[in-house]
Chain A
Amino acid sequence: MVSRSARRPARWLALLILVLVVVIGAPPGAIAQQKTTLRFWMSADPALEAAMDALLRGFMRTHPNVTVQRDAFPFNEYHQKLTTAFASGDPPDVFWMDVRTAIFASAGSLLVLEKFLTPQNKADIIASGLIEPVWKSNLYGVPMHELTEGLFVNRTIFEEAGIKIPQRLEEAWTWDEFVTIARRLTRRTGERTDVWGFGVLRHLSDWSILPVIMQNNGAVISPDLKKATGYLNGPATVEAMKWYQSLFTTHRVISFDPIPDGFPTGKIAIFQAPSTYRAALDARFPDFKYAVVPMFKGKRCAVTAGGWNVSVATRTKNRDLSWSLVDYLTRERHAEWVRTSGYLPVRKSVLQRDPKFRQYPWGIFVDQLQQCQVHRPNTPAYNFFFDTFLAVARDTALGRDVQSLLDAAAARLDVSLSRGGR
């Protein structure tokens, strides 16, 4: 007979054996599989986040063992959050990246994606989409979409003034024609301006002013991105900036202070804004009558193009899975993203398939994207370039001497470029 004291350990042993039998003998499907979590970051915008969430749900349906944790941050905080995450050694796996690709790539933070991209995939992307995510000939991101600008005009003001609204790229206004129209539409009562002829959504930024420089065959930096003197302060750039200055000081068709919602409230007649502005206007001011016209042109046409790309952190523990997500968002679901986000397609297949991109008004943006696109300099010194250019733009608008402003800015930028962007 077994004693009581001997029975207890025996019971525990029996229980252990039973558990082991169940676990080892059970079919594989009965054991819960571990889920992999991918962290995905993007710039915040309620409409874009909703569109992105729909895509991510689709990805998770096709990858049941994957959870994609999406976070979004306001644009003016986004790059700082990203930098802090990288600096702390805990970056997201997949994230949006823009013209600042070189800043992060030069620090070794971005995974080179060239080897993941098939030739067919790459061939489907329009040339403009493969500028910003490339640094030193390596591809560090795949474009989600493209974005460019146009001029939005107040249809009521134009009809009252009897001014024809151009609808094709070939009909774009020259600089002189644009100034004449803007002056005609500017209305003042004494010292107070009731209607400004012109306004810009991205006021005094490199995005808005770079096209003016390029339209005059100017430049802001050498092709190898190492020098600014001779380019930023070159004769063509100076001439372009002087023309832009005249809009503020001589012709007085644009306000130095931005006017919130000035365009849809009738305070601005012509408004330079990105292609996504249409959706914002239609949502917030559905009764407002406007038309899209091509950007004015100088010696040539030029409009800034860019957009968000999707990049992968070198520190990710799930490279293949991260690439699957990138490919899903940028290729498999590109058409859906374009439809729900309001951005322009970056894939030829989508452009060719949907006839609306060959018709007015989308056709204006697409034609400009393919024929007039210019890009901001993709250099590790981009933030320095942006701040320096912003200061130049503001001081130019205030009437300061353009040549001396650009000379000083070029000298400062050269120092930053020579330090490798620091």
Chain B
Amino acid sequence: MGILLFSLLPILQALRISFFEYGLLSPEQTFIGADNYARAFADPVFRIALHNTILFSALLVVGQTLLALLLALLLKQEIRGRAFFRSAFFLPVVTSLVVISTVWKLMYNSQGFINGVLGTLGVGAQPFLASSTQALPSLVLMSVWKEVGFYMLIFLAGLQAIPGELYESASIDGANRWTSFWRITLPLLRRATVFVMVVGTISAFKVFTPVYLMTDGGPADSTMVIVFYIFRVAFRYFEMGFASAMSFILMGIVIVLTLLQFRLLRTTVEY
């Protein structure tokens, strides 16, 4: 009953609205068929937002997956301060994204902390959020830093589940560390990798807060992403029908990508 009331019914209502012209302030709703969907695909801003969202997601998922795996491999070793480092990497995960976005915006300032560090290294001040080429990667960097701790823990759990005997046997058979990693670790981490990439992709496609607080979609629409555009269309321009249509297009894209990932990353290796 709860799922019906709070999940399914609103989704069905949003789907219904996507076929109407509905202005929010006025109760009138005019049926326009699939016009909102056609308008979305013809809208240059929507296409830019889609492109930016896909680019952001690709950079973010690849970046955080690789870094999370690397950190997990490092923190699986018996090193001093392991518990401290695990906590330190996980701390951004539990910190408010609003706070992080606000602080990083100040850090990216032309006279902020990052440019200060670059200055001491002899590198000239960078525009970061003021540059149409650097703004999106800057958001990716912040997002990787924020979420990598969570995915690191997923990989750590996956690594710890791999029996040590497999490595011992491989070592006896003459396998070096690289071969062990490539032939044992990676295949047996596939389930964890699927989880990290699928969850990471879904989360990346929903990016909103950093754009809202740090760049407002600019400069030159270089950080305009789909959810931010949908928010604007719905709650600033009051075009609920058009916004609903874009939401369902986004949902369709995410479902297709998720199924694709499951297909490509399915594992046949068990132990």
Is B219 in contact with A107, judged by CB distance below 8 angstroms? no
Answer whether residue A387 sits at the interface, using C-beta atoms and an 8 A cutoff.
yes
Cβ-based interface call for B109 (8 A): yes
Q: B193 to nearest A CB, angstroms?
A: 39
Residues of B within 8 A of A257 (CB): 109-111, 130
| Known contacts A103-B25, A255-B110: A383-B218 contact under CB 8 Å | no
Which of B5-13, B173-181, B231-239 is found at the contact surface with chain A?
B231-239
Contact, CB under 8 Å: B24 / A384: no
CA distance in complex: A395, B135 (Å): 13
Check A319 for interface membership: any CB of B closer than 8 A.
Answer: no
**A83 touching B125 by the CB < 8 A rule?**
no
Query: Given the interface contacts A191-B125, A391-B217, does A107 sit within 8 Å of B237 by beta carbon?
Result: no
Q: Once the chains are docked, how many angstroms separate the CA of A107 from the CA of B238?
A: 11
Q: B221 contacts which of A107, A108, A391 (Cβ < 8 Å)?
A: A391
- Tell me whether A83 and B219 are in contact (CB under 8 A): no
User: Which of chain B's residues have a CB closer than 8 A to the CB of A103?
Assistant: 25, 238
CB distance from A179 to the nearest CB of B (A): 21
A residues with CB within 8 A of B: 80, 83, 86-87, 89, 103-104, 107-109, 191-192, 255-257, 383-384, 387, 390-391, 394-395, 398, 400, 412, 416, 422
Per DSSP, are chain B's interface residues mostly helix, strand or loop, or mixed?
loop
Closest A residue by C-beta to B131: A398
Measured between C-beta atoms, what is the minimum distance from A414 to chain B in Å?
Answer: 14
- Flag whether B79 is at the interface (Cβ < 8 A): no
For B26, the closest partner residue in chain A by CB is A107
Say if the beta carbon of B220 comes within 8 Å of chain A. Answer: yes
Binary flags per residue of B217-245, CB closer than 8 Å to A gives 1, else 0: 11111000000000010011111000000
Q: A398-B219, A400-B220 are in contact. Are A83 and B235 (CB under 8 A)?
A: yes
Q: Which residue of A lies closest to B241 (CB)?
A: A422
CA distance A95 to B55 in the complex (A): 44
Which residues of chain B have a CB within 8 Å of any CB of chain A?
23-27, 45, 109-111, 124-125, 127, 130-132, 216-221, 232, 235-239
What are 19 A-to-B residue pairs whose CB atoms are below 8 Å? A80-B235, A87-B25, A89-B27, A107-B25, A255-B110, A256-B130, A383-B237, A384-B236, A390-B216, A391-B216, A391-B217, A391-B218, A394-B219, A395-B220, A398-B130, A400-B220, A416-B237, A422-B23, A422-B239
What residues of chain A lie closer than 8 Å to B235, measured between beta carbons? 80, 83
How far is A257 from B221 in the complex, measured between Cα atoms in Å?
18
Tell me the nearest residue of chain A to B222, going by C-beta.
A395
Which residues of chain A are near B131, meaning CB under 8 Å? Answer: 398
* Contact A384:B25 (CB < 8 A) given known A256-B110, A394-B218: no
- Nearest chain A CB to B64's CB is how many angstroms away? 28
User: Residues of A contacting B127 with CB < 8 Å?
Assistant: 398
Answer whether A109 and B25 are a contact pair too, CB < 8 Å, given A192-B111, A383-B236, A383-B237: yes
Chain A proximity of B93: nearest CB distance (Å): 28
Q: When chains A and B are docked, how far (Å) is the Cα of A255 from the Cα of B237?
A: 30
Residues of A within 8 A of B237 (CB): 383-384, 416, 422
By a CB distance below 8 angstroms, the chain A residues around B236 are 383-384, 387
Contacts of B27 in A (CB 8 A): 89
A410 to chain B minimum Cβ distance, whole angstroms, is 14
Contact of B221 with A86 in the complex, beta carbons under 8 Å: no
Please judge, given known A-B contacts A104-B25, A108-B26, A191-B125, whether A83 and B130 are in contact too, CB under 8 Å: no
Contact A395 B219 (CB under 8 A): yes
Q: How far is the CA of A395 from the CA of B221 in the complex (A)?
A: 10
- Residue of A86, A255, A391 touching B25 (CB-CB under 8 A): A86
Query: Inside 8 A of A107's CB, which chain B residues have their CB?
Result: 23, 25-26
Q: Nearest Cβ in chain B — how far from A85, in angstroms?
A: 10
Cβ–Cβ contact A83 & B24, under 8 A: yes
Contacts of B217 in A (CB 8 A): 391
CB distance from B73 to the nearest CB of A (A): 39
Measured CA separation A394–B235 after assembly (Å)? 22
Query: Which of A80, A256, A257, A387 has most chain B Cβ within 10 Å?
Result: A257
Question: Which chain B residue has the least Cβ–Cβ distance from A108?
Answer: B26
Please tell me if the beta carbons of A83 and B111 are within 8 angstroms of each other in the complex: no
| Shortest Cβ gap from B216 to chain A (Å) | 7
Q: Please, which residues of chain B bring their CB within 8 A of the CB of A412? A: 45
Say which residue of B45, B124, B125, B218 sits within 8 Å of A395 (CB atoms): B218
Task: Kindly state the separation between the CA atoms of A86 and B235 in the bound complex, as whole angstroms.
Answer: 13
